[in-house]
C-alpha cells in the first residue's frame, strides 16, 4: 500500500489552486543497480483529478517525472468547501486516491 498524498486546495478569485504531493519511487527504467542489472520501470502513468466527483483533469505521465512528484493546477469555478480528489495509477497496477476539502 502506497503512502498517502498531501493535497492542499485553496479558493481565490473564482478559481481553486490545487497543490498535490505524491509519494512514489518513480523508477524510470533507465537506471542500473549495483550488480549492473536494469531496475525495471515503476512509475505513475495515470493521474486524474476531480472536483465534487466530476473529473476536471486527467494526465498521462511517463518515466521523466521526478520521484515524489509535485503537481499544481487551477480549476475554474470551485469554491471553499468543495471536495478535491486525486487518483493515480502506476505501472504495477497499484493505485491510490486521496481527498481534500477546498479552503
Binding site for other proteins (CB under 8 A): 3-4, 6, 19, 21, 23, 66-68, 70, 72
Nearer to other proteins, 19 or 89 (CB): 19
Closer to other proteins by CB, 23 or 91: give it: 23
How far apart are CB 68 and other proteins at their closest, in Å? 4
- Per the CB < 8 A criterion, the answer to whether 102 and 82 are in contact is yes
Q: For the chain, what's the residue count?
A: 103
Sign of the Cα torsion 59, 26, 51, 18 reads negative
Q: Which residue has the cell 498521462?
A: 60
- Cell for 68? 515524489
Nearest to other proteins of 24, 75 (CB atom): 24
Of residues 52 and 97, the one with the C-beta less far from other proteins: 97
Order of all β-strands in the sheet with 95-101: 54-60, 44-51, 83-90, 95-101
Least distance between other proteins and beta carbon 72 (Å): 7
CA–CA dist 83, 8 (Å, integer): 11
Task: Give min distance, CB of 66 to other proteins, in A.
Answer: 7
Least distance (Å) between residue 21 CB and other proteins: 5
Amino acid at each position: 500500500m502506497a503512502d498517502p498524498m498531501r493535497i492542499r486546495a485553496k479558493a481565490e478569485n473564482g478559481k481553486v489552486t490545487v497543490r498535490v504531493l505524491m509519494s512514489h519511487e518513480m523508477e524510470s527504467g533507465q537506471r542500473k543497480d549495483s550488480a549492473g542489472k536494469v531496475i525495471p520501470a515503476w512509475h505513475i502513468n495515470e493521474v486524474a483529478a476531480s472536483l465534487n466527483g466530476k473529473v476536471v483533469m486527467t494526465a498521462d505521465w511517463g518515466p521523466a517525472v521526478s520521484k515524489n512528484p509535485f503537481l499544481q493546477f487551477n480549476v475554474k469555478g470551485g469554491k471553499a468547501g468543495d471536495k478535491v480528489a486525486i487518483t493515480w495509477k502506476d505501472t504495477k497496477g497499484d493505485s491510490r486516491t486521496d481527498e481534500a476539502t477546498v479552503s
